[in-house]
Amino acid sequence: MALTLNITDHWSDTKRLHVIGNLVASGNYVAGGDIIPFNNPLIKTSLPPVYVDIQVYSSTGVSTYTYSFKAGTTLANQKLMIFTTTGGLELAAGAYPAPVINNPAALYAIFHKFI
């Protein structure tokens, strides 16, 4: 798997499940975006998220890539797309570059609860 979701916090507001975590890249990027592994046992739903925010922070303060969430139709086909900040081109398929590996993306997602 090219992305790992490390959940750092999660809670319920009685109607929704809120999840905060990091997306850690390893291996190879797939053109069209890599699947976000929302199959974590802490995410107790079978429905896709209703809201996702993904941010990237660089240790140098300057990021060479921007991250975008691509909504799917099921929990299993939600994707993270990565683009260059210069030119806005999608990252080419192949090994993740060091800046992506070294700067995990922060993720905040909201799901319908227990369905």
Q: State the pLDDT confidence band at 103, using cuts at 50, 70 and 90.
A: confident
Domain around 53 = 3-112
Instruction: Note the pLDDT of residue 29.
Output: 95
Residue labelled with tokens 């790992």: 4
The total number of structural domains in the chain stands at 1
The whole-model pTM stands at: 0.89
Mean residue pLDDT across the chain: 90
Between 63 and 80, the more confident residue is 80
